[in-house]
């Protein structure tokens, strides 16, 4: 099977930042937290490839460690959404019109009425700013997304012959949901997971930009941008590189999502 171009480009982009994040565990060009006031706000050069910030810290090292924060927060938030949302959605589809279905659908309406960022701000304000609370805030909004997608994808499967055959064979709804339905909607869930992943990276950046994400000294892309804001006229490189890191990571993930959809859904591909 030939991989779509967007999948290849997106994968390369994302892999680049994922590798940087992994590499930062064992090696960064400089200590990301080491300050050197005499070398502050230097532009990109041979010693500091992406320059230094207002404390003389190496921006490349900070961007690498920041990748770790961004990706970890987004991955765990997506994990929360899948682990809690998918079973709910499957259950709702299996008992269409039942109590669970009703709760899932109404809960969905409610969560979509809240501007997600406002509530994320509220949650982090209530429990205090930290990476963990940012994860919870983003994760909570992923639950109804996955519940809705899983329910929508699972519903039509319940009328198909192989599910009917499984019922005739005496399998219960729960077993059918996980053995037959889940395996057949995995494609759709993977595509949705990629989309939520990229939204998670953006949300983490926004939260840490307003000071509600990972706290110092842990570097995060959003806070690097917030720090650079007052210095933007003097040291524009401080704002440009963390921003580019966010853009390319999100762009990579979006392209992977598009590519996977083309790859996994032949119907859609033909329609294009």
Partner 1 sequence: MFVSTRATKRAGWRLLLASTNLVAMAHFLLSRLVSLGLSLAVASAVIFCAIEVIPGDPAAFMLGLNAEPEAVAALRHELGLEGGLLERYLAWIGGMLTGDFGVSYTYRVPVTELVVARLWVSLPLTLYAMMISTAIAIPVGLWAAARRGRAGDVAVMGVTQLGIAVPNFWFAMLLVLAFAIGLGWFSAGGFPGWEAGLFAGIKALTLPALALALPQASILARVMRSSVLETLGQDYIRTARAKGLSERQTVLRHAFRNALIPVMTILGLQFSFLLAGAIIIENVFFLPGLGRLIFQGITQRDLIVVESVTMLLVLSVIVVTFAVDLAYALVDPRLRRRA
Binding region for partner 1 (CB under 8 A): 106, 109-110, 112-119, 121-123, 125-126, 198, 202, 205-206, 209-210, 222, 225, 228-229, 232-233, 236, 239, 243, 246-248, 250-251, 254-255
Q: Shortest gap between Cβ of 140 and partner 1 (angstroms)?
A: 11
For partner 1, the closer CB: 71 or 202:
202
Q: What length does the chain have?
A: 272
| Residue 64 CB neighbours (<10 A) | 25
Query: Is residue 266 packed enough to be buried (19+ CB in 10 Å), middle (13-18) or exposed (0-12)?
Result: exposed
- What's the angle, vertex CA 228, arms to CA 222 and CA 230, rounded to 5? 125
CA 149 to chain centre: 16
Beta bridge partners of 52: 58
For partner 1, the closer CB: 43 or 172:
43
Q: Shortest gap between Cβ of 213 and partner 1 (angstroms)?
A: 12
> What is the rounded distance in angstroms from the CA atom of residue 202 to the CA atom of residue 207?
9
Q: Shortest gap between Cβ of 184 and partner 1 (angstroms)?
A: 26
> What is the rounded distance in angstroms from the CA atom of residue 269 to the CA atom of residue 81?
28
For partner 1, the closer CB: 196 or 198:
198
Could you tell me the CA-to-CA distances from 2 to 8, 188, 191, 194 in Å, in that order?
10, 19, 18, 20
DSSP state of 178: I
Backbone angles phi, psi at 52, to 5 degrees: -125, 165
| Residue 226 CB neighbours (<10 A) | 18
Q: Shortest gap between Cβ of 84 and partner 1 (angstroms)?
A: 17
For partner 1, the closer CB: 13 or 94:
13
For partner 1, the closer CB: 180 or 237:
237
For partner 1, the closer CB: 69 or 177:
69
For partner 1, the closer CB: 58 or 204:
204
> What is the rounded distance in angstroms from the CA atom of residue 229 to the CA atom of residue 49?
21
Q: Shortest gap between Cβ of 106 and partner 1 (angstroms)?
A: 8
DSSP state of 58: B
Q: Shortest gap between Cβ of 242 and partner 1 (angstroms)?
A: 8
DSSP state of 215: P
Q: Shortest gap between Cβ of 203 and partner 1 (angstroms)?
A: 10
Q: Is 52 helix (H, G, I), strand (E, B) or coil?
A: strand
């Amino acid at each position: 099977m030939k991989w779509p171009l967007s999948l290849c480009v997106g994968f390369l982009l994302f892999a680049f930042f994922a590798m940087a994040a992994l590499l930062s565990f064992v090696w960064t060009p400089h200590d990301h937290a080491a300050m050197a006031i005499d070398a502050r706000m230097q532009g990109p050069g041979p010693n500091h490839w992406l320059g230094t910030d207002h404390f003389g810290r190496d921006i490349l090292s900070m961007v690498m460690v920041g990748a770790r924060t961004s990706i970890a927060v987004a991955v765990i938030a997506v994990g929360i959404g899948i682990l809690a949302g998918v079973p709910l959605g499957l259950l709702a589809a299996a008992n269409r019109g039942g109590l669970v279905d009703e709760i899932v659908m109404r809960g969905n309406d409610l969560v979509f009425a809240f501007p997600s960022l406002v509530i994320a701000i509220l949650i982090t304000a209530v429990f205090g700013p930290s990476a963990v609370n940012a994860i919870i805030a983003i994760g909570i909004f992923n639950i109804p997304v996955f519940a809705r997608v899983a329910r929508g994808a699972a519903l039509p499967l319940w009328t198909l012959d192989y599910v009917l055959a499984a019922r005739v064979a005496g399998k219960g709804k729960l077993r059918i949901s996980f053995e037959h339905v889940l395996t057949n909607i995995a494609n759709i869930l993977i595509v949705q997971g990629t989309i939520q992943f990229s939204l998670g990276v953006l949300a983490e950046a926004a939260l840490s930009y307003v000071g509600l994400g990972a706290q110092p000294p842990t570097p995060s892309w959003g806070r690097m941008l917030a720090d650079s804001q007052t210095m933007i006229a003097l040291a524009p490189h401080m704002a440009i590189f963390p921003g580019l890191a966010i853009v390319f990571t999100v762009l990579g993930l979006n392209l992977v999502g598009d590519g996977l959809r083309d790859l996994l859904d032949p119907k859609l591909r033909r329609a294009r």
